[in-house]
Structure 1
Amino acid sequence: MPEGSAQIDFESLTDLIYEAAVLPELWPSVLDQLAGIAGAQGTVLIASDLRSHRWINSKSLDQVMADFASGGWSSAGQRTARLLAARHAGFVREQDVYTPEELEQDVLIQHFLRPRGLGWGTATACPLSTGDTLIFSIERRFVDGPVPAEAMRVLDTLRPHLGRAALVSARLKLERARAAVEALEVLSLPAAVLGADGRLHNRNAAFAGLVPRVVRDQRDRVTLSHPGADALLSDVLSGRRANAARSIPVPADADNPAMVMHLLPVRGLAQDVFGGGTMLMLAAPVLPRPVPGTELLAGLFDLTAAEARIARGIADGATIALLAAQQSVAHETIRSQVKAIFAKTGVTRQVDLARLISGFSLIR
């Protein structure tokens, strides 16, 4: 038996594969067991169409796939192209589609996989009637050598089950997603549907343009690239806030304009419209102007009227003492309000608050 396969119950694994067809959250367990058969570090299931690539991976490959996405490696090398060109109804290894000389010249293998300790593997492609191509790519450590032939035979036995289950899974997801995607496009704003686990279920084209610069589609949950904004998002998604509805400011940086992320809970029959999602995430872009009015500040950051007045005063350069004198209250009252403003805007200093709110104005 190949490495790791002695611990794998073929019948149980086949059952798990077909369970994953209708319960997509089970795919990572399937991928882990495929990696075990090949003595590999992990497996990636890639769904590719003409517009995008989406994937699920073993947790052991989280960092590898994060680097793959952020580094733009999807267009590097010939690995996937050679797999598809082989048109083989089974798993193939590098030595099946490369000469030794070509293997040493492939950019993805030499400059991405091997520096991360990988470089050997096996993969299979399953074209679907939906227009997608599903690729199961099992990644093995370079020091362990190529995938053994016996492991290849076991994987080839499983391949028809993987293809059928993945087809069902893709079709079900397509049908559930159609209504949600159509609804999101009507909004004319970057919009996405989040599940109860905080992960992205569906998104429109405008929202996809924010990934990964502003929003990151992580395996555990969706995150925001700005640390302060993401801390506020984490509070909402973890259930630490009683009311999930929230507006989260995302400050501008050198590459991205400022925006506000509005989180709206999806309740009752609306969940059917959005494919079972539990939260709607809208991104409202903003343009700079000197200092927004108190009503705008209150709406953007969920501030009370008093907090909005304090925030606007800080943006105008007022000190704690001046604000206390203007409003005839104690210094401690103003400091308490400032702390509440910090908590709602994700900043920790008055200077950062001034910079943040002085650059916000909703695009009409």
Structure 2
Amino acid sequence: MELTGVVDLIYAAALGEGASWQDVGDQLMNLMGAQRATLWLKDEGGAPGNVLMRADSYDKKYAQYVEIDPYRAAALEVGVEETMHRRGDVRLGHEIIPDASYVKSEFYADFGRISSRRYMIGGLICTTGVIPLGLHRDAAARPFDEADKRTLSLLLPHLQRALQMGARLAPVGSGFAAAALDSVPIGVIVVDHEMRVLYCNAEGTALVGNPRSGLSIVRDRRGSSANSSRLFAHHPADHAQLCRLVGAASRGGAGGGMQVRAHSSVLAADAATLSALVCPALRHLSSSARANMGTSVMHGAATVLARNLLRSSSLPARLLVELFGLTRAEAEVAVALAGGVTAEDVARKRHVSLETVRSQIRTILRKTGASGLRDFERIIALGSTMHAMSAARPVSGDG
């Protein structure tokens, strides 16, 4: 499979649309000539696991040596801020751990030597935390080289964007029907490389209709594209950046994130009003796509995910107390989790142990009736939408 095919699979897996992470792992190993691939993500219950390969005897054996894995130890030393600075940075195994040190390590002598862990290439992905990606070859294979680095460096940003996109659209679940997208409190706007709008969900329509948001859709009445609608940002610098990101994503790049400011005539302060994430477009989100085409990246187009920074995207903690019988502490943890904060960050900010937070998460899931954290996020997203609609509705008198 070519590189573009792997990119398609990455977005499909992240959004649960016709492909699994194991499919991605199989194609990554095939593309990179590797025997093993690792990407550790948490399941709905919060337990981490390698999603790129089916569980086998290797995993049970690795569990005995995970604490002395030198590559894992090196990844744990890198913080979120440094990962953001090193975005897209791919390194060969010897650039992380000197080769002489690795082959003399207890990990390699007792485990790596007999388990396809001789040569390694990897990089770090940053979402709400630092996630290492690794590919491994055995001693009979050749080492990874600079050409392999260039290939993986093209895929790493797509993995990051796909995971971010999946997290933001988590309330929708699989099967992005228009009605489901309209329930998401995030604007979903699909545009072509010239910023012509191909699709806009209900929240996106509300955002572009609000002059405080910093984004608008205008009718183009000139040239061959007469009567088409185009997306633009009111602030000139923001519009230029948005066009660059859309152009990059529509040409097969991974896009990027930015903040959008309202026009100075609308808000006195030059403050951001929207957070926008630009990703490659998914074919089934375009109104021009034929039905049942399957999920794939639609080249020549990009998706803009926009979140209103002036409005809370989660339920107030007091409502979680009233609705689900959470304690105040549990409600505050729930609000943080719904906002994308990790359990580790919650524990650190609240000055409590990680086990305390994990115990609170189990209680939150039980009280809300959620099957896992993703299901909990759907419940909160739906409640947030209903709360926003209720708050915006004018109150009329009786009789």
Sort the TM-score into its range (normalised by shorter chain).
0.3 to 0.5
**Structure with greater contact order relative to length (CA < 8 Å, sep ≥ 6):** 2
Kindly indicate which of the two structures has a greater share of residues assigned to helix.
1
Larger Rg, first or second structure (1 or 2): 1
| TM-score in terms of structure 1 length | 0.42
| TM-score in terms of structure 2 length | 0.39
